[in-house]
Amino acid sequence: RADADDPARAVPIGNAALGLVPYGAATIGYALRRDVWGSGYAGELVALLRDFAFGPLGVHRLEARVDVDNAASIRVLVRAGFRLEGRVRHDYRGPDGWRDAQQYALLADDPPAGSAVKGG
């Protein structure tokens, strides 16, 4: 949230990361404060990370993992063109124990988000 009177006092609304891995691949991740959920920031972040990875970085494969119960984040990834690859069991340990994640990926040569997939 920007503070119009004092930009130095701006409060971050979350974070995002893009990590390069060997052989033309990258991973993305993001976390936002609960009070900004539903504001469209996650979609903007994913689109920016996707476009940067496939554009200037020349990545071929971009992947993301999301908690199986995080329906909103799953929708964000699907809208951005990511495809479900499968479930990752006990991907990370949360406060309530081990949690599973869904693995999503997008390839540079996949059809653009929102376009019809032929033959499928």
CATH number of domain containing 79: 3.40.630.30
Q: Is residue 1 part of a domain?
A: no
pLDDT in the model for residue 37: 86
Question: Tell me, what amino acid is at 27?
Answer: T
* Measured CA distances, 72 to 22, 52, 119 (Å): 29, 23, 28
pLDDT in the model for residue 4: 58
Report whether pLDDT(77) > 90. Answer: yes
Q: Which of 25 and 5 is assigned the larger pLDDT?
A: 25
Range(s) of the domain holding residue 64: 7-107
- Those residues whose C-beta lies under 8 Å from the C-beta of residue 63, and which sit 6 or more positions away, are 25, 26, 27, 28, 85, 103, 104, 105, 106
User: How confident is the model over 20-64, as pLDDT tens digits?
Assistant: 998 999 999 999 998 888 888 999 999 999 999 999 999 999 999
Q: Is residue 115 part of a domain?
A: no
Confidence of residue 114 (pLDDT cuts 50, 70, 90): low
- Which residues sit opposite 61 in a β-bridge? 25, 107
Q: Is residue 112 part of a domain?
A: no
Angle at 84 between CA 108 and CA 31, to 5 degrees: 85
- Which residues sit opposite 86 in a β-bridge? 103
Confidence of residue 15 (pLDDT cuts 50, 70, 90): very high
Count: domains in the chain: 1
Report whether pLDDT(5) > 90. Answer: no
Calpha distance 52→66 (Å, rounded): 20
Q: Could you tell me how far CA 32 lies from the centroid of its own chain?
A: 11
Q: Is residue 117 part of a domain?
A: no
pLDDT in the model for residue 13: 87
Q: Is residue 96 part of a domain?
A: yes
- Four-residue CA torsion sign, 67, 68, 72, 78: positive
